[in-house]
Chains A and B, each alone.
Chain A
Amino acid sequence: MIKNSSQNNDYLEGIEISNEAIFLDPEKQFSIRELIIESLKKIIKEKKLKLSLGPELDLLNIKRPIILNKFDIQLVSSGMLADEVEIDIENCKEKGKGPQLFLAAQVEEDLNIVFFKGLLTSQEFIKIIKKRDIKSNKISIPISNFNGGIDKLLRYIRLLDTKSIPRVELDINPKVVNWDLITRKIKLSVTAALGTAGLIIFGPNILQPKLVANLSSLTPKDYEVKSFTRSSTKNSVCLLTPIAYKNDNNELVAKINIDKPIIYLLKPLNELSISIDKNIVWKKIASSTEKINGPIYWPIKPIKTKDKYKLLLRPQGSPFGSNLVINLETDQNIPLTNIDNFIDTLGDNKRKWIKAINKKIKSNRNLGISLLFSKKAPDTKELEKAKLQLDKLNACESI
């Protein structure tokens, strides 16, 4: 972008604006994020491209990446004269949240000019920062690392397969980042907790160590909920079930294969609601006397195939609007289990119950947990103690 224009003078007075820069109406007031988004929209419109740009309702949220033609792209910006650009790496530290691409925009705020300097793929980014000692959530890299301009962005998002570029995943802060380590830690802590208690809970039966081992493999997931008010701190939702993953549109989706799934919380919520087709069909707000925590039984009519429910979870301490949204979708690959019918097949046989829980914990977590917490489960000390043990487990905090 910077090309000397002071040929016969000692000092640089101005720079030439690239022909590829985008000029927006100088009379309008835009934030930097708006300038970049509007410029992208302008390019897409001028080139008559059919590209989806999202998240539609949250495009101006500076903390969120944009989703352009299913690619997760983090926008980074600097002034027109900058030699370095600052990148927020908070998302990169969380599994499944890091972007695939970084798009650098050089912005002139007064005159509403945006020049897309270029791209960095996740691999290129990792290569640049791999030797650095990263202590904060921001990192500065030379802007010259970004190249190719807007053309390169369009090349990649139009011509490459979405999966050809992995997400950035930084392994720099074990407390937040190292998912493998987290998993190992939880396994160890659960095993340790249940291992010593195992003999007491389940007796010498050969099934018990197996159940302990299977329970120990239950890894809860911690989902950060961002708050955009200045005063509030970061909160998270810790779920044992359902477990959700991000889809191509950066939305959390949990695949469900039982008709009355349990929502098992390991951290208290302020609010939990269930909606379908944008209508809230059930809602619970925590009070001073009633917390929302632990296992929540499915409170409404059983789920049918193709139903698409949304869970809205607001953690304790989060203001209104700071929610986690999980889309519940029935798993097309596995038939939907009617939990009541399944339970009927178990009858009162304690051995059958423990065996079924053991088996399902492994293959179908939600069903396994639902059986363990089923109101029709046989009244045995062993299962009660197991439930209590699991309930006490505060795996997300212990990380």
Chain B
Amino acid sequence: MDKVYTEIYFLDSFSSKVSKKRVDFNKEFLNEYNLDKDNFTNSFDKKLFTISKEKPEKVDSLLALRCRVSSPILEKIKHIYNIFSENYDIELQEMLILTLNDGGERFLRIRNEKNKRFVKMLFCWETINTMHQKGVIQPFGAEIIFEFNPDLSNLSTWAKNKVQGNYELKSYLRNFGILLFSHWSLIADSSRKRIISSWERCGEGKFNSKYIIKLYESYIFNYKKAKKDFKRKYGKISGWEPDRNFLISLDPPQKNIDTLVLMSKAIRQYISSTYTARQLSQEEESQIKSQEIHEIENSDSEISNKVITLLKNNGLGIVHKFINEDKNKWVKDSSRKLAWELYSKGLSQREIASKCNHKQAWVSKLLPEKRISEEIAQETALEILKFKEFTNFKEAPEKLDNLVDGLQNFLLIEQTDEKISLLRQFVRQEIEK
């Protein structure tokens, strides 16, 4: 059983693994408070928090809280990692470096701005307050505790919300094409209609939709101002959490964040059930529209031949451009070259990902099939529109869409003679050059 107030989880920089260690407490403090609890309680969290603030020079109460928050941080990070790691090349360790970076020491080394030397200071409230005044609190667990308000939420929820809104973590995931979002931005981005639907279908708690809508409307009004003020102060919105003043300004006024979190959870659940899980192989490969019209096949053969010649000329040029841009990275990562080769042989994204030892999102980003085919189709359409048979297409958006979609589809469907699409043939020709 974990000892939530005496054991801390941290990323061991030597082993690069998550470790758990028992931290050192002052004997008097240990004797005064029974810290060896297996489970946390909100009242004990609050007690420790109050002591930390009221005795800002003391280390132990804050240290107990640091142990306490390490567990929800780890839990949340693992949760996010498990969700996304199936499709993305994200690293758990990298995510933990940013968030689980408190080793449970009693001292902090802080750089003195004047003489640029590091100074050893007690890891107490006074010290983190000084860091706060300088704009950055490290480690992340200390930031969570410093900004915690026990009246507004419990410490576990608070810690998980803070992980969700952690700017560094969001920036890291951004590089892989993942966007984390907070409860607050999700509510703000939602329409009245979505709020009603999500609450009626997935809402928990005693409140009816009328109450929730009233709360939502006042939230939207107040959030805009709060967001503006926060951005002016900190240069970003990440990290904003509703404070007491914000909650009181709502209609009906809120004592804590609980109902807002329930609203957000209802939306998350509602969206999850509305949208089906991403199927990369279905969505991004060969996006051939059902209403596909093969104008090329139906036109007379002279035009067909001209169009195919144009497609080939434009196609080879554009594929050359895309592959050439990527070639610079082949020395560092030979799997990129392999991915192009496998694509030219007709393998699916899933198969390419597996053979290249990467996740499917990596393949989808590397081989932008839709982008390449659209570019070829547009360039070809530009020339086709000069044919007298097609000039009136310039006047009609729907006709133009049909033409470009038709060309794009023609590039992506398997050619009967070659068994692979025209686009893959262009890639093959470029690779074999």
Interface residues of chain A, those whose CB is within 8 Å of chain B, are 2-21, 23, 26, 29, 47, 78-84, 108-111, 113, 121, 140, 142, 151-152, 154-156, 158-161, 164-165
Partner of A161, one of B180, B238, B277, B394: B394
The number of chain B residues touching the other chain, given as a range, is 35 or more
Query: Contacts A110-B238, A111-B170, A155-B401; is A11 near B265 (CB within 8 Å)?
Result: yes
Cα distance A82–B235 in the bound complex, in angstroms: 22
Identity of the chain A residue whose Cβ is nearest the Cβ of B239 in the assembled complex: A110
Distance between Cα atoms of A13 and B176 in the complex (Å): 15
Between-chain CB contacts (< 8 Å), 27 pairs: A3-B278, A4-B277, A5-B277, A5-B278, A6-B83, A6-B272, A7-B83, A12-B269, A14-B80, A14-B178, A14-B181, A15-B181, A16-B178, A18-B177, A19-B284, A79-B188, A81-B189, A83-B194, A84-B194, A108-B179, A109-B236, A110-B238, A151-B371, A158-B382, A160-B394, A160-B395, A164-B397
In the A-B complex, the 10 residue pairs with the smallest Cβ-Cβ separation, listed nearest first, are: A79-B189, A84-B191, A11-B268, A81-B189, A12-B268, A3-B278, A82-B189, A14-B180, A17-B177, A164-B395
Q: How far is the CA of A156 from the CA of B381 in the complex (A)?
A: 11
A-B contact count (CB 8 A): 152
- From A5, A78, A113, give the contact of B83 (CB < 8 A): A5
Instruction: Give the complex CA separation of A9 and B396 in angstroms.
Output: 46
Name the residue of chain A whose CB is nearest to the CB of B238: A110
Q: A17-B179, A108-B179 are in contact. Are A47 and B375 (CB under 8 A)?
A: yes
**Complex-state Cα separation, A183 to B289, whole angstroms:** 48
- What residues of B have a CB within 8 angstroms of the CB of A140 in the complex? 191
Is the beta-carbon distance between B272 and A17 smaller than 8 angstroms? no
Q: Are A164 and B396 in contact (CB under 8 A)?
A: yes
Q: Decide: A155 and B278 in contact? CB cutoff 8 A.
A: no
Seen from chain B, the residues whose Cβ lies within 8 Å of a Cβ on chain A are 79-80, 83-84, 86-87, 164, 167, 170-171, 173-174, 177-181, 185-186, 188-191, 193-194, 231, 235-238, 265, 268-269, 271-272, 275-278, 284, 361, 364-365, 368, 371, 374-375, 378, 381-382, 385, 393-397, 400-401, 404
Q: Are A20 and B371 in contact (CB under 8 A)?
A: yes
Q: Check B79–A9 contact: CB distance below 8 A.
A: yes
Residue in chain B with minimal CB distance to A17? B177
Q: Is the CB of B186 within 8 A of A81?
A: yes
CB distance from B176 to the nearest CB of A (A): 9
Q: How far is the CA of A5 from the CA of B173 in the complex (A)?
A: 13
Q: Are A113 and B395 in contact (CB under 8 A)?
A: no
Residue of A8, A19, A29, A159 touching B382 (CB-CB under 8 A): A159
For B361, the chain A residues whose CB sits under 8 A away are 16
Q: For the complex, what is the distance from the CA of A41 to the CA of B365, rounded to whole Å?
A: 21
Find the B residue at minimum CB distance from A162: B394
Q: Which residues of A contact B173 (CB under 8 A)?
A: 14
Q: How far apart are A119's CB and chain B's nearest CB, in angstroms?
A: 9
| In contact, B174 and A111 (Cβ under 8 angstroms) | yes
Contact B171 A82, beta carbon cutoff 8 Å: no
Q: Which of B191, B368, B397 is the one whose CB lies under 8 Å from A156? A: B397
Name the B residues within 8 Å of A11 (CB-CB): 265, 268-269, 272
B177, B231, B235 interface centre (most CB from chain A within 10 Å) = B177
Is the beta-carbon distance between B378 and A154 smaller than 8 angstroms?
yes
With a CB–CB cut-off of 8 A, which chain B residues contact A21?
177
User: For residue B185, which residues in chain A have a CB less than 8 angstroms away from its CB?
Assistant: 79, 81
